[in-house]
């Protein structure tokens, strides 16, 4: 596994653990290299996927739409939006799941 995919997989594992431990109104599971987060209360579905050709993590959100993130720091891994550097992957996920 190359360096990017290893970092991206670690990040998806951390998101999985975060959702599973902190958000009881959501179910989280893997589908291939995608992480799927389903709302128990409604039909909202988040998909977080590893996109190896661009070395990015992609997020499909029912609230804010599509986002692409690239790594900007290696310790700890910080993934920032390719369109708006003020948006970080973990912050966006937590903000949306708290709504």
Residue 53 has pLDDT above 80, yes or no: yes
Per residue in 8-50, pLDDT (tens digit) is 999 999 999 999 999 999 999 999 879 999 999 999 999 999 9
pLDDT at 1 (0 to 100): 61
Beta bridge partners of 77: 74
Where do the domains of the chain lie, and which CATH numbers do they carry? 3-94 (3.30.920.10)
Side-chain-facing half-sphere of 90: CA atoms under 13 Å = 15
pTM: 0.92
Side-chain-facing half-sphere of 69: CA atoms under 13 Å = 27
């Amino acid at each position: 596994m190359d360096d990017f995919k290893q970092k991206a997989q670690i990040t998806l594992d951390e998101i999985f653990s975060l959702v599973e431990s902190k958000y009881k109104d959501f179910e989280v599971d893997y589908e291939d290299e995608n992480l799927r987060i389903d709302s128990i209360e409604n039909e909202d579905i988040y998909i977080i996927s590893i996109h190896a050709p661009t070395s990015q993590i992609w997020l499909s959100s029912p609230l804010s739409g599509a986002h692409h993130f690239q790594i900007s720091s290696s310790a700890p891994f910080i993934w920032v939006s390719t369109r708006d550097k003020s948006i970080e992957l973990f912050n966006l996920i937590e903000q949306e799941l708290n709504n």
